[in-house]
C-alpha cells in the first residue's frame, strides 16, 4: 500500500475483514473437532442465515430473493455448503496456516474457471501469474500431502485435496454469479445462499450429529464462525466493494493467511516452517500477477 492509501477511509475495515476471515480457520477447527465436518458446516450456514435474514427483511429485499431463489439457493451449496464442509474436514488433519495458504489460490481458480467457462482469457502477466501460483501450490502440497491415514483415520493428503476442491468451488461460484446473478443485490445473494446451504445441509447435519454433547468451547466457536466470520464478514465485504470496487476488494486474500497463521501459532501452538513461508510467497506473487494488481497499483498512484 502507498503512504497515501494509509489515509483511505476503508483501510480499517479492510484489515478487520482480513482478521475476521483469518479467524474463521481457527474457530472452524475448534468446532469441527467436536461436531464433525458436516454438522459444523450446517451450524455455520444456519447461524449466518439467521443473522442475515433480518437485515434482508429490514431493507425490503425479500421480493428480490423470491424471484431468484432457485439460482441463489444453488449458489449457496456451491459457494458455502461444499467449500465450508471441505475446510471443516481439512482442518481436522492439517494446520490453519496451511489451509489458509491454500485458500489464497481462490483468485487463481476464479481466473481459470472464467477462462474456460466465460471465455475471459487472460493475457501476458496474468497467464504467468496462474502458472507461478499453481507451482507454489504444488510445492506447498508436495511435502504435506501424505495419503497414509494417521491414528484418527485421517490423512493430510485428502485434507489438501479438500482445500483445493473448496477453492475450485469458489472459482465456479464467482463465474456462476457473474453469469446468472449479475445485478442482483449482494445482500440478497449472501442471505439466499446461506439459506440454500442451510436447507442443503439439513439432513447431513442431523444424520451426522455427534452422539456426545460438544463442549461449551465448541458451541461458542460455531457461534462466532457463524455470526462474525460469515454474517458480519459478508456485511463488511459488501461495504468494501462499494468503497473500493470488486477487483481491489479481492486483495483481502493476501492478508488472510497472515492472520490465520498468527492465530494458529498463538492459540494452537502450530509451527510455521520456512518452506511454508516460501511457498506462500510464491502463491501470493502468482495471485498478484493473475489479478493484474500491478496495473491496479499504478492506477491508484
DSSP 196-227: HHHHHHHHHHHHT--SSPPPHHHHHHHHHHHI
Mean pLDDT, range 1-7, rounded to an integer: 46
Specify whether the CB–CB gap between 215 and 96 falls below 8 A.
Answer: no
The C-alpha angle with vertex 95 and arms to 91 and 100, in degrees rounded to 5, equals 80
**What percent of the chain has pLDDT above 70?**
85
The answer to whether 34 touches 218, Cβ cutoff 8 Å, is: yes
- Choose among 49, 48, 53, 3: nearest CA to 24: 48
Sole residue written with cell 489515509: 7
**Is residue 283 one of the residues assigned to a domain?**
yes
In this structure, of 24-38, 219-233, 262-276, the range with the lowest mean pLDDT score is 262-276
The DSSP output letter for 153 is: S
Stated pTM of the model: 0.86
For residue 72, the model assigns a pLDDT of: 95
pLDDT digits (tens, 9 = 90+) for 87-114: 999 999 888 988 988 888 888 888 888 8
* pLDDT at 280 > cutoff 90: no
Closest by CA position to 251, among listed 5, 33, 85, 26: 5
Does 293 fall in a domain? yes
Q: How many CB atoms lie within 10 A of CB 105?
A: 29
Q: Which residue range is the domain that position 100 belongs to? A: 9-300
Split into its structural domains, the chain has a count of 1
Domain membership of residue 1 (yes or no) is: no
pLDDT value of residue 151: 57
Give the pLDDT band (50/70/90) at residue 296: very low
Residue 292 domain-assigned (yes or no): yes
pLDDT tens-digit readout, 26-40: 999 999 999 999 999
User: DSSP characters for 211-279?
Assistant: SSPPPHHHHHHHHHHHIIIIIIHHHHHHHHHHHH-HHHHGGGGGTHHHHHHHHHHHHH-----HHHHHH
Residue 143: per-residue pLDDT: 61
Q: Is the pLDDT of residue 224 over 60?
A: yes
Is 103 within the bounds of a domain? yes
Cα-Cα-Cα-Cα torsion 280, 282, 287, 288, nearest 10 degrees, comes to 110
- Is the residue at 115 inside a domain? yes
> What are the tens digits of pLDDT across the range 114-164?
888 888 777 777 788 888 888 888 887 776 655 566 655 567 788 989 999
235 pLDDT higher than 80: yes
Q: What band does 284 get if pLDDT is binned at 50, 70 and 90?
A: confident
SS3 content of the chain, % helix, strand, coil (to 5): 80, 0, 20
Instruction: Report yes or no on 4 lying in a domain.
Output: no
State residue 4's pLDDT score: 46
CB atoms within 10 A of CB 137: 23
The confidence band for 1, taking pLDDT boundaries of 50, 70 and 90, is very low
Does residue 2 fall inside a structural domain? no
Amino acid at each position: 500500500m502507498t503512504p497515501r492509501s494509509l489515509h483511505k477511509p476503508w483501510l480499517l475495515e479492510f484489515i478487520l475483514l482480513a482478521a475476521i476471515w483469518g479467524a474463521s480457520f481457527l474457530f472452524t477447527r475448534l468446532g469441527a473437532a467436536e461436531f464433525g465436518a458436516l454438522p459444523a458446516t450446517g451450524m455455520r450456514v444456519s447461524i449466518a442465515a439467521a443473522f442475515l435474514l433480518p437485515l434482508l427483511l429490514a431493507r425490503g429485499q425479500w421480493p428480490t430473493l423470491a424471484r431468484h431463489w432457485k439460482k441463489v439457493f444453488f449458489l449457496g451449496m456451491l459457494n458455502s455448503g461444499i467449500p465450508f464442509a471441505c475446510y471443516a474436514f481439512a482442518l481436522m488433519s492439517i494446520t490453519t496456516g496451511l489451509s489458509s495458504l491454500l485458500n489464497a489460490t481462490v483468485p487463481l481458480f476464479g481466473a481459470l474457471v472464467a477462462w474456460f467457462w466465460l471465455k475471459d482469457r487472460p493475457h501476458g502477466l496474468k497467464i504467468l501469474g496462474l502458472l507461478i501460483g499453481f507451482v507454489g501450490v504444488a510445492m506447498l502440497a508436495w511435502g504435506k500431502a501424505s495419503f497414509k491415514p494417521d491414528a484418527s483415520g485421517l490423512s493430510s493428503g485428502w485434507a489438501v485435496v479438500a482445500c483445493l476442491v473448496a477453492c475450485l468451488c469458489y472459482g465456479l461460484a464467482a463465474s456462476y454469479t457473474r453469469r446468472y446473478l449479475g445485478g442482483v443485490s449482494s445482500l440478497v445473494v449472501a442471505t439466499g445462499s446461506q439459506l440454500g446451504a442451510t436447507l442443503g445441509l439439513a439432513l447431513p447435519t442431523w444424520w451426522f450429529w455427534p452422539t456426545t454433547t460438544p463442549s461449551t468451547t465448541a458451541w461458542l466457536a460455531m457461534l462466532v464462525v457463524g455470526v462474525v466470520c460469515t454474517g458480519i464478514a459478508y456485511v463488511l465485504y459488501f461495504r468494501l466493494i462499494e468503497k473500493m470496487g470488486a477487483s481491489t476488494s479481492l486483495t483481502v486474500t493476501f492478508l488472510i493467511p497472515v492472520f490465520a497463521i498468527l492465530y494458529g501459532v498463538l492459540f494452537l501452538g502450530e509451527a510455521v516452517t520456512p518452506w511454508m513461508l516460501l511457498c506462500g510467497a510464491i502463491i501470493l506473487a502468482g495471485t498478484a500477477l493473475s489479478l493484474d494488481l500491478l496495473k491496479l497499483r499504478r492506477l491508484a498512484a
